[in-house]
Amino acid sequence: MTDRVVHADAVIIGGGVAGLSAALSLAGDVVLVSKAKFGTGGSTPSAQGGIAVALADGDSPELHARDTLAVGAGINDHAAVDVLTNEGPARVRQLIMQGAQFDRDAAGRLQFGREAGHGRDRILHANGDATGAEIMRAMSAAVSQRDNVAVHDSTYAVDLLLDRGRVAGLVAIGPGGETIHYATSAVVLATGGIGRLYSHTTNSLEVTGDGLAMAARAGARLIDLEFVQFHPTALVSELDPMPLITEALRGAGAILVDQQGHRYMAAIHPDAELAPRDVVARANWELLEAGGAAYLDATQAVGDAFPERFPTVLAAARRAGLDPRTQPLPVSPAAHYFMGGVDVDGFGRTSISGLWAIGEVSATGAHGANRLASNSLLEGLVFGARAATSVGCSLLPPPALVAVPTVELVSAPSVIAELRSVMWQQVGLIRDAVGLASAVVRLEDLGRQLGDGSGEAANMALAARLVALAARDRTESRGAHYRSDHPEMKDATRRAYSQPTLVTVA
């Protein structure tokens, strides 16, 4: 039974950088549905590393594109990379005009740092290592001033509503538990990634694959599902999510050492600690699996400058009883970013009429098999605005009201705990046929235990199965997808799928 019907020209699901970018660019009556409290939650507020953009002297979009392609392991969509790197500077300038305060030197010039895979200093930071929080503050304030945008926060989007193959609305659960029917001909998914599928993750509690699962159930074309990026350096602690130890620390000269204090990355890759994330993450994983320990040592590179340069890392370490000014930090890889998702064109359009996807839930192809550090915030800015342009050109009259299914949210903490463990151990950094086959069987069983209900648990079960099946079917290693039984690269194609059987489609 529907408790309330809300009519809108467009509904955006998600309040991170991508959703906010779209909201700031859309005209008409827009509703922004946020699972968390507006301005909090999701991945954007916790993004430490910064935003990559070719604005510094000696840099260019062409050089930025070259680095993006090199890290992407041969399957980037070149047109998407060109859009990202060429339109990025204008979007960042616009963000600054909206009030975002990035770090500057004494003369007032923007300061640029360097991270893994970048050949130039092109990473903008805010308050040292609180870039995402500053972007969120500025963009949320700008959205709050828009008369045409209504924010419905603490509201959980359950499923898309379709009519004759096109979007006709959305069913959601409001903060008081009421069922809300959003009647709209345009829905923009900006729901973020899938990090919570893994027992070790830097992603916040909201990042449970909801958008991917909703799109899959609706029959949208999916792509690149096997490519999950693991950040090399999350702080080992009892906290879930694991505190991120920003890559900017390694850009500032921090080194990785083992339990004997031996620096090991220099012997593994010529760029040492600034090698691509998948290389560093696997090195740390193998060290830990062999019974060793990995530490990030910034005592010499940063030392007493931590309070000014990396206050977020300092605070996280202090909560764990550590002081990075004087001691190395114990670190582990953790699930961090999803390069796969809903297949979209250069304007966020999906295979379903009336449905757009932007940000981490989408797969533009800009990241290829392995995202270049700090390109994610930029992608949200650029493609959020581009999707808004497309939505504005595609709006149809309000749809006729369609039937809203009964919503039954399921909760199964023990099932989800096992699911996350299976994904970490068998669909994680290093994969093989035996482990993936076992994972698929177990994940299917866990899905059956959940039944036919809706909600986070059901979405996590579906998303996990989709990722595991895609990883099983790519019998090569490429970027973030590493198969110990197929270590070579041999198939430089993007793989698209349809659900529920995960059939490969042309």
> Residues 154-198: pLDDT tens digits?
999 999 999 999 999 999 999 999 999 999 999 999 999 999 999
Pair 138, 145: CB distance under 8 Å: no
Which residue bears the tokens 């092109």? 122
Q: Using CA atoms, how far apart are residues 19 and 188, in angstroms rounded to an integer?
A: 8
Element (H, E) at 225: none
Q: What is the C-alpha separation between 10 and 460, in angstroms, rounded? A: 26
Tokens of 485: 């039984």
What is residue 341's three-state secondary structure? strand
What share of the chain in percent tops pLDDT 70? 98
* Half-sphere exposure in the Cβ direction for 102 (13 Å, CA): 22
Task: Tell me whether residue 499 is in a domain.
Answer: no
Q: Which residue has the tokens 């509503």?
A: 161
How much is the pLDDT for 88? 98
Does 350 lie in the same domain as 260?
A: no
Considering the domain boundaries, does residue 98 fall inside one?
Answer: yes
The CA-CA-CA angle for residues 8, 10, 15, to 5°, reads 110
How far apart CA 426 and CA 435 sit, in angstroms, is 5
Identify whether the C-beta of residue 141 lies closer than 8 Å to the C-beta of residue 100: no
**Alpha-carbon span 355 to 161, nearest angstrom:** 11
Indicate if 412 and 443 belong to the same structural domain. yes
State the pLDDT at residue 505.
56
Query: How many domains is the chain partitioned into structurally?
Result: 3
42 and 109 in a single domain? The answer is yes
Q: Does 500 sit behind a cis peptide bond, omega within 30 degrees of 0 on the bond before it?
A: yes
What CATH number does residue 300 fall under?
3.90.700.10
Same domain, 343 and 436: no
Domain range holding 100? 4-193+339-394
Tokens representing residue 95 in the block: 């963000």
The Cα–Cα gap between 66 and 60 comes to 10
DSSP string, 57-112: TT--HHHHHHHHHHHTTT---HHHHHHHHHHHHHHHHHHHHTT----B-TTSPBPE
- Residue 9, domain CATH: 3.50.50.60
pTM for the whole structure: 0.94
CA distance 20 to 384: 8
Whether residues 326 and 465 share a domain: the answer is: no
Are 81 and 131 in a shared domain?
yes
Burial of 217: CB neighbours in 10 Å, binned 0-12, 13-18, 19+? middle
Residues 31 and 153: beta-carbon distance below 8 Å: no
Is there a contact between 358 and 374 (Cβ–Cβ < 8 Å)?
A: no
Cα–Cα distance, 109 to 338 (Å, whole number): 33
From CA 261, how far away is CA 375, in angstroms rounded? Answer: 32
Pair 134, 249 in one domain = no
Same domain for 134 and 153?
yes
Residue 374 covered by a domain: yes
CB distance 25 to 386 below 8 Å: no
CA dist 498 and 505 (Å) reads 7
- Digit-by-digit pLDDT tens for the chain (506 residues) are 679 999 999 999 999 999 999 999 999 999 999 999 998 878 888 887 799 999 999 999 999 999 999 999 999 999 999 999 999 999 999 999 999 999 999 999 999 998 888 999 999 999 888 899 999 999 999 999 999 999 999 999 999 999 999 999 999 999 999 999 999 999 999 999 999 999 999 999 999 999 999 999 999 999 999 999 999 999 999 889 999 998 889 989 999 999 999 999 999 999 999 888 889 999 999 999 999 999 999 999 999 999 999 999 999 999 999 999 999 999 999 999 999 999 999 999 999 999 999 999 999 999 999 999 899 999 999 999 999 999 999 888 878 888 888 888 888 999 999 999 999 999 999 999 999 999 999 999 999 999 888 899 999 999 999 999 999 999 999 999 999 999 999 989 999 887 655 555 54
Claim to verify: residue 276 and residue 292 sit in the same structural domain: yes
Confirm whether 386 is a catalytic residue. Answer: no
Residue 498 forms part of a structural domain: no
Per residue in 399-441, pLDDT tens?
888 888 888 888 899 999 999 999 999 999 999 999 999 999 9
Domain assignment of residue 201, yes or no: no
In a domain, 202, yes or no: no
Please indicate, yes or no, if residue 421 is contained in any of the structural domains: yes
Residues 17 and 146 in one domain: yes
Do residues 303 and 389 share a domain? no
Catalytic residue among 122, 196, 221, 277: 277
Q: Are residues 134 and 156 in the same domain?
A: yes
Distance, CA of 480 to CA of 460 (rounded, Å): 21
Confidence (pLDDT) at 276: 83
Examine residue 502 and state whether it is found in any structural domain, yes or no: no
Q: Is 459 helix (H, G, I), strand (E, B) or coil?
A: helix
- The span from the CA of 71 to the CA of 486, in Å, is 20
Sole residue written with tokens 């467009």: 10
Judge whether 389 and 354 are in contact, CB under 8 Å: no
